[in-house]
Amino acid sequence: MSPDFVFALTLLIKMGVTAAFVVIASMVAERAGPLIGAMVSTLPISAGPAYAFLSLDHDSAFVAQSVLTSLPVNAATGVYALIYAALAQRLRLILSLPIALGSWFVLAIAIEHVNWTLVGALAFNVAAFLICVPLAHRFQFARMPLALRRWYDAPLRAAVVACLVATVVGLSGRIGPAVTGVLAVFPIVLTSLILILHPRIGGPATAAVIANTQWGLAGFSAALATLQITVVPLGAAGALAVALLVSIGWNVTTWFLRRRGHPAVR
């Protein structure tokens, strides 16, 4: 078989596996209400496989450098979630989503041009979530109406996620670690949920799911920091496993504390 055919076949497999995983996870999220939906949506179900596939084609140093950019970009996703949640209270999808995504792109482009250190990236995350978490609280509660599933829901989500995987894996060798780090944490799961949920259950209910992601996004930042620190000494497989455990542990703890009404995670 030619190298081009092998590359195309491998890429299709990567796209299919990742898309299927995200579709299943997002369906679970829809049925569980805003809090559990947010916790599931902020697990590394998109970025995790993207970095796993990148590690097959690049060394640990490339992955570590990419994650160093992903870390502050994930804070920009917190801003994106807050802006969408605020706009969706009154605006239609055609306005609220593009404005929120536009803000993400502006921040991501600015972040990509900064020479980040781990300390600087972590400080940026702390500052961003100290602002976004309390401001998003007012949008976290809404009645979740019953929504009928449409035939194109799963194919649309699968197509969107598959396109992101293809872009990240296909371009990573040409665009370098910094831009790869930006693409790897593009908010594809949140965006696909918005595209599906907003027309079906309305802006305020969709905003409740997205607003509840703030603590989960903060946990994802902790997982990214873990990956950045451990990927060189442990190798990609070990570091990805540890980062996944951090993300799952954070979200489970957040859900437990929220259920008990702990004021620290309101």
| Contact call for residues 107 and 82 (beta carbons, < 8 A) | no
DSSP 51-102: HHHHHHHS-HHHHHHHHHHHHHHHHHHHHHHHHHHHHTTTS-HHHHHHHHHH
Q: What pLDDT score does 169 carry?
A: 64
Q: What pLDDT score does 10 carry?
A: 64
Chain mean pLDDT for the chain: 85
pTM of the model: 0.87
Within 10 Å of residue 195's Cβ, how many Cβ atoms? Answer: 16
Q: What pLDDT score does 123 carry?
A: 97
Q: Where are the beta strands (DSSP E) in the chain?
A: none
- Single-letter residue type at 119: V
State pLDDT tens for residues 48-68. Answer: 877 887 887 788 988 898 899
| Contact call for residues 224 and 184 (beta carbons, < 8 A) | no
| End-to-end CA separation in angstroms for the chain | 56
- Answer whether residue 223 shows pLDDT above 70: yes
Q: What pLDDT score does 260 carry?
A: 79
Residue 16 pLDDT grade (very low, low, confident, very high; cuts 50, 70, 90): confident
d(CA 170, CA 158): 18
State pLDDT tens for residues 143-174. Answer: 777 666 667 777 777 787 777 667 766 666 56
142 three-class SS: coil
- Answer whether residue 205 shows pLDDT above 80: yes
| Contact call for residues 140 and 211 (beta carbons, < 8 A) | yes
Residue 120 pLDDT grade (very low, low, confident, very high; cuts 50, 70, 90): very high
Residue 194 pLDDT grade (very low, low, confident, very high; cuts 50, 70, 90): confident
State pLDDT tens for residues 82-103. Answer: 999 999 999 999 999 999 999 9
State pLDDT tens for residues 239-261. Answer: 999 999 999 999 999 999 988 77
